Amino acid sequence: MQDAHGDLGTVLRAWRDRLSPLDVGFPAGDSRRAAGLRREELAALAGLSVDYIVRLEQGRARRPSEQVASALARALQLTDAERDHLFTLAGLLPPSPHEVPAHIPPGVQRLVARLGEIPVAVFTASWDLLSWSPLWVALLGEPVRPASGRPNLLRAHFGNLSLGAGGGRIIRRSGSVDAFGASLVADLRRVAGRYPDDRRVRALVQELLSTSEEFRALWESGIVGEHQSESKVVSNELVGDIELDCDVFSVAGTDLRIVAYTAAAASEAAAKIEFLRVAAPAAVVR
């Protein structure tokens, strides 16, 4: 009988071979011997080492962690069914429908990869940061990864931390900072009600209740709502202050949030964003 885990390397290679570089924001180029992604490109997209990708594909590594499996599923732009199959082959339980979805559908992945002129990122319903474009990094800095888990907007806001290291910071909003925090808490309470069995959401709430008096007061007020879009002024170390519209779009069926910063064409802010796009080092959507 064939070892089920032995199929893991086979399907990873097949999924890598079928994924067009253009769909992840890489140039196709004329020197490619195959149409799919190279191992080093998949490694960069998933935040893994090339050696680990090789060992997975050769069957010398068969038990990736849940975090690694999720990163591979996003990088390979798998469907929900393919993601679940990957988890099964890795000896993991597929994500439960009672948990906040953290898998980005292929169409959303392609959308983010092709919006090269817009700082854009994808968050879960509970505001874990999942994916971001190179221009997002140029505007706001490289997202700071915690020791475990994912960067989270509420944890950053109520901990007086930044989601990004270097780059830029938000210095002004169309609404007040207090209103922004209240909107996030109201949104999280709505999500917690929708996903009462999600352990990450429960842990986030308990953490913030114990570390932030402001969060605790807002949470205990019982406010429920949906986080709204607003305009913001970002202070960037390269181009100075930029006033941008920050819009939040929900992905039907997944509760994912796409956050995009935009400026009117031919405006001063648009010129500054274009400068960041040209000046920023080459990077990939993560």
pLDDT in tens, 5-45: 458 999 999 999 999 888 887 776 666 776 789 999 999 99
- With a CB cutoff of 8 Å and minimum separation 6, the contacts of 260 are 115, 118, 119, 120, 246, 247, 249
Residue percentage of the chain with pLDDT more than 90: 60
Q: Write out pLDDT tens, residues 88-116.
A: 999 999 988 889 999 999 889 888 888 87
Q: Let me know: does 26 contact 284? Beta carbons within 8 Å.
A: yes
Q: What is the CATH number of domain 6-90?
A: 1.10.260.40
Q: Is the pLDDT of residue 283 over 60?
A: no
Q: Let me know: does 9 contact 3? Beta carbons within 8 Å.
A: no
**Which of 204, 199, 267 is CA-nearest to residue 239?**
267
Q: What pLDDT sits at residue 26?
A: 79
Q: Is the pLDDT of residue 198 over 80?
A: yes
- With a CB cutoff of 8 Å and minimum separation 6, the contacts of 213 are none
Domain 106-279, what fold? Answer: Beta-Lactamase (3.30.450)
Phi, psi of 19 (to 5 degrees): -85, 120
The reply to whether domains 6-90 and 106-279 share a CATH topology is: no
Domain parsing of the chain, residue ranges: 6-90, 106-279
Q: What pLDDT sits at residue 227?
A: 86
**Which of 17, 37, 15 is CA-nearest to residue 26?**
37
Q: Let me know: does 127 contact 100? Beta carbons within 8 Å.
A: no
Contacts of the segment 13-18: beta carbons below 8 A, 24+ positions apart: 13/57, 15/76, 15/78, 15/82, 16/42, 16/57, 16/76
